[in-house]
Amino acid sequence: MRFGPLGEEGQQRIRESRVLICGCGALGSVIANTLARAGVGHLRIVDRDFLEWNNLQRQVLFTEADVTAGIPKAVAAKSHLEQINSEIEIEALVANVSAQNIGELIDSVDCIVDGTDNFETRFLLNDAAVKNNIPWVYGGCLGSEGQTMTILPDETPCLHCLMQAGPPPPGTTPTCDSAGILSSIINVIASIQALEAIKIVSGNRDKTSRVLQIFDLWDNQVRQVNLDQLLEGKQCPTCNHHQFDWWTGKQGSQSAILCGRNAVQLAFSSDARIDLEELGNKLSSLGNVSVNPFLLKAEIEEFEITVFADGRAIIKGTEDEVVARNIYAKYIGN
């Protein structure tokens, strides 16, 4: 409140705000930590994944104990954040962000912040934000470079304006596996994203960045790209023609290669639930199996299979979707 541009009124608005954080890995954990300490009244954190040892290099909210416990990132984040700020509300949702649930996820939120690791989900968030007039903050990092952009529907260019051809095809861009990632760039980009969200929910959206900000910490480069020209011509399918193909499910797949994991996630549109204990008993004779209330993990053949209660699975040991689907059908069922 002592910071003049915020003051008591701005802090009160922050306290009354609701923010959705999509993804609670590298970017998302820094964002969630910052917004919780800033006093955002309601944080809705959604993440599809569980913790692994290599996450600790850059996912600052978590500990070795969290990895050992084998719990999902969203659940671990909620536990830590409640110890940081017990006066705010924190929702932890273990789910894959998809066209089937995005409407529920964005319900009643004032701002969306991007902590995801793939462009298909980002284009879905972009559709949801523009269609429902919700500000959102894009961010992404790879190697020593990161970039961020704030999208205010009807005021600024959207992500589709920036990437007019849509998400890059699989295999055409570097990944965490091939390029690695430095933790420092995560903290820079996530901190900017968090502050942009604070500007929005505190009633200071006029102070948000109207440029694409790009940082390369290794080569000591900072660039700002003016986006005004993207508004000229008004050719964006999302902003100008209101084509929301990711929102409707016309675009986007049900599988994804996970960055830095040598793993494929398989998701399904069915609402069927899986009895994890029963599945664990079924698989126990085939390999090492562990079960907790959130997920089942099985080491079978050369694969590590993680199954969530909604039927979603992560098959580690391959980046081939066909192989992953065959493993799922063989051990989990169709």
**CATH number for the domain harbouring residue 269:** 3.30.310
Is 236 part of any domain? Answer: yes
- Distance (Å, rounded) from C-alpha 154 to C-alpha 59? 34
Query: Which residues, in sequence order, are bridge partners of residue 147?
Result: 140, 214
Instruction: Kindly state the DSSP code that residue 97 receives in the 8-state scheme.
Output: -
Say whether both 40 and 113 belong to one domain: yes
pLDDT digit string, tens, across residues 243-283:
999 899 888 766 676 776 789 988 876 556 788 998 899 88
What's the pLDDT band for 177 if we cut at 50, 70, 90? low
Distance CA 210, CA 218 (A): 25
Structural domain containing residue 185: 7-248
List the one residue out of 272, 275, 279, 268 whose CA is nearest residue 305.
279
Contacts with 108 (C-beta within 8 Å, 6 or more apart), sequence order: 18
Q: How many domains does the chain have?
A: 2
Residues 127 and 205 in one domain: yes
* Residue 259 Cα to chain centre, angstroms: 12
In a domain? residue 280: yes
Contact residues for 281 (Cβ-Cβ < 8 A; gap 6+): none
- Please tell me which residue, 273 or 76, carries the higher pLDDT value: 76
pLDDT digits 0-9 by tens, 296-322:
999 998 999 999 988 889 999 998 877
Q: Are 41 and 92 in contact (CB under 8 A)?
A: no
Q: What is the mean pLDDT of the chain?
A: 90
pLDDT of residue 106: 98
Same domain, 138 and 267: no
Same domain flag for 169 and 132: yes
Asked if the structure places residue 1 within a domain, the reply is no
Residue 183 has pLDDT above 90, yes or no: yes
* Same-domain status, 141 and 188: yes
CATH code of the domain in which 146 resides: 3.40.50.720
Closest among 288, 308, 300 to 327, alpha carbons compared: 300
The residue out of 200, 222, 248 marking a domain boundary is 248
Task: Pick from 109-123, 158-172, 315-329 the range whose average pLDDT is largest.
Answer: 109-123
Q: pTM of the full predicted structure? A: 0.84
Instruction: Report d(CA 125, CA 132) in Å as an integer.
Output: 10
Q: Tens digits of per-residue pLDDT, 164-173? A: 888 875 545 6
